[in-house]
């Protein structure tokens, strides 16, 4: 479906979580958090994924990194399938794929010095390093993310949210990864600090040639940082396009509703909202056919019967949408 020369290719990836009930904990169902997803990310590119809470964006990222074992499907990183690697080789591969978590207050161990937090990946993957070497690598990283080097001997609680997120980024960068999964890295930050961190993330990409998978529920942040954007709804990608195509010409009714729902910080623009009815259905029991048909303002009579899973229609060049309206 998409060009075959990506740094990272996700093929038909599914991650289902079992629902166990009763004394014997028998499996009574599944939550289809990620359902038959195909994406590819090119070298040096940022792919943004947007969607509401519970749509499976974080599970997608974690399945790609192998932090959650996918149920089926393949993740191909630099031509090698990382889903079924033995643990020794996947360990080597993981050095090149790193993660930055959402909440900088929860993702840094409060009892470790900043120096130890940043050096921990090095201690694991390159165990032969002397303490001097470790220290100089940590200092390099701190400089790279714009934190003064005396921070190394302090604890995370001494830092503000923005600085902590910089420390998280330093920890992700110390193994010189090629691919970083950024899981809502600025959602917990205040507006004035958020733009500082966004600029840092962008500059690092330019300087180090990084490839990002950037997840957020904030469309304006995704537009700022991404090259291409995918919109997720209930475990599936409903639309995937370059950011200009997506923002100038959204096609899927869900994308349109999502965009119109964003509050715009400009009172001069008239508000023209598409208000969706109801809540997101439970992913344990997703609607039949197109998963969005229960809330869709443009629903047709066969939307609930035709399975749209994994059916992406290329409406214009590199602009894919999973919707019967465009068939």
**Which residues lie near another protein (CB under 8 A)?**
52-53, 160, 162-163, 190-196, 198-199, 202, 217, 219-221, 223-224, 247, 257-268, 271, 273, 275-276, 279-280
Q: How far apart are CA 229 and CA 47, in angstroms?
A: 6
Q: Which is nearer to another protein, 199 or 249 (CB)?
A: 199
- Among residues 46 and 83, whose Cβ is nearest to another protein? 46
Q: Which is nearer to another protein, 125 or 202 (CB)?
A: 202
Distance CA 6, CA 128 (A): 33
CA gap 56, 189 in Å, rounded: 22
Tell me which residue has tokens 């600085």. Answer: 163
Closest approach, Cβ 323 to another protein, in A, equals 17
Distance CA 247, CA 259 (A): 8
Residue for token pair 């400089």: 143
Task: Choose among 59, 53, 13, 10: nearest CA to 33.
Answer: 59
Shortest spacing between CB 78 and another protein, in angstroms: 29
Give, in order, the Cα–Cα distances in Å from 145 to each of 39, 138, 263: 29, 11, 31
- Work out the number of other CB atoms within 10 angstroms of the CB of residue 137: 16
**Least distance between another protein and beta carbon 166 (Å):** 12
Closest to another protein by CB, 1 or 264: 264
Nearest approach, Cβ of residue 96 and another protein (Å):
28
Nearer to another protein, 17 or 247 (CB): 247
Minimum CB–partner distance for residue 321 and another protein (Å): 18
State in angstroms the smallest separation of the CB of 184 from another protein. Answer: 13
Min separation Cβ 59 and another protein, Å: 16
Q: Rounded CA gap, 324 and 293, in Å?
A: 10
Rank residues 138 and 188 by Cβ distance to another protein and give the closer one.
188
Name every residue whose Cβ is closer than 8 Å to that of residue 167 and which is 6 or more positions away in sequence. 104, 108, 114, 117, 118, 145, 147, 151, 156, 159
The residue among 149 and 196 lying less far from another protein, judged by its C-beta, is: 196
What is d(CA 84, CA 22) in angstroms, rounded to the nearest whole number?
A: 32
């Amino acid at each position: 479906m998409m060009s075959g020369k990506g740094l990272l290719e996700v093929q038909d990836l599914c991650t289902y979580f079992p629902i166990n009930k009763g004394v014997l904990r028998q499996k009574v169902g599944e939550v289809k958090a990620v359902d038959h997803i195909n994406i590819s990310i090119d070298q040096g590119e940022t792919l943004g994924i947007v969607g509401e809470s519970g749509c499976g964006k974080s599970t997608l990222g974690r399945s790609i990194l192998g932090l959650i074992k996918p149920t089926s499907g393949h993740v191909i990183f630099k031509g090698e399938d990382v889903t079924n690697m033995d643990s020794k080789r996947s360990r080597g591969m993981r050095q090149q794929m790193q993660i930055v978590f959402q909440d900088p207050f929860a993702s840094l161990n409060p009892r470790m010095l900043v120096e130890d937090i940043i050096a921990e990946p090095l201690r694991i993957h390159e165990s032969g390093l002397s303490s001097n070497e470790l220290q100089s690598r940590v200092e390099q990283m701190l400089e790279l993310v714009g934190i003064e080097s005396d921070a190394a001997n302090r604890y995370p609680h001494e830092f503000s949210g923005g600085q902590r997120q910089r420390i998280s980024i330093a920890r992700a960068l110390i193994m010189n990864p090629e691919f970083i999964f950024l899981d809502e890295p600025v959602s917990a930050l205040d507006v004035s600090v958020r733009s500082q961190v966004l600029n840092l993330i962008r500059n690092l990409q330019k300087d180090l040639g990084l490839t990002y998978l950037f997840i957020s529920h904030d469309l304006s942040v995704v537009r700022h940082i991404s090259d291409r954007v995918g919109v997720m709804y209930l475990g599936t990608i409903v639309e995937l396009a370059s950011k200009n195509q997506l923002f100038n010409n959204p096609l899927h009714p869900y994308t349109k509703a999502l965009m119109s729902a964003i509050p715009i910080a400009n009172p001069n623009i008239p508000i023209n909202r598409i208000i969706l009815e109801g809540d997101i259905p439970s992913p344990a029991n997703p609607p039949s056919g197109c998963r969005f048909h229960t809330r869709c303002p443009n629903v047709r009579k066969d939307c609930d019967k035709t399975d749209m899973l994994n059916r992406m229609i290329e409406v214009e060049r590199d602009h894919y949408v999973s919707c019967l309206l465009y068939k």
